Structure 1
């Protein structure tokens, strides 16, 4: 059967190129920093106010040209509109359940909570620095991990000097917390 005669299911609606699969969040909480929430909001508004209207205009123009079956601008535009709409729905749902956390409240503290930048050493003495952020804002390439990741879960509530146990596929691994830092409240007021 041709793809033209198949119906997109609701389960395919929120996955694919336009929206990453939503990570499971324990208890339905979606903790996020103020800066992370602002990035999601900016992306959503950019899609709604800028990108979607431009694509709608292109599709309208392409549709007015006649034969739509071989009109690349029309076909690509319709596909791109579906991707944009899918991403808009995803961002809207994620923002509805988001709980914005002021990470600067723990400034100066030595205990690991959401928003902390933690330096720890593994059993070989190798030091690693990570920032514990929300599921929707963590970027491992920048040393940011989700608060639901195994490393973050092992580190949460530990203090400087504590040794925590991380369960890994090869067995247990001990991590020593070397330092804990939080954003300065004066800097976070500018967001």
Structure 2
């Protein structure tokens, strides 16, 4: 039948939001923030632009929700790691940011957005402090610096390494250094 319309599929709102965020996440990982357009997300999910906007309001709010989605993903990864393996903590942070979340976080912060929540990495600090006599403030500063360094590495890491004369250094070298620094801070 020519011109027949595909029947509309009703989804639970939570399921629709999840599908939209997963599609946006795939676009972010493959094409960066610029690729996360309402029309492209809608096409990936098989819905209209209006349906995406119904769930998120507009592209800016979709991007904010996507960043929070990445934060949830990071928190889940860190909960699996616990506080014992510093290398896995560093690797978990790096993996999420390498999937485009570094660029997204930087773009949102540059546009003036600020996360009203706080303490996403507090459980990591708690776990790292639980193993011994360490200065909590020093651990917090070390984790904050690690977070900043790992978050920026996918965006400007190569340029920053070159600025210090490290033409042949890689992200893996930087992650190994962060792991060592955090271990030293903890006295391990």
* TM-score, normalised by the number of residues in structure 2: 0.27
Question: Which structure: greater strand fraction?
Answer: 1
Larger fraction in helix: 2
TM-score using structure 1 length: 0.27
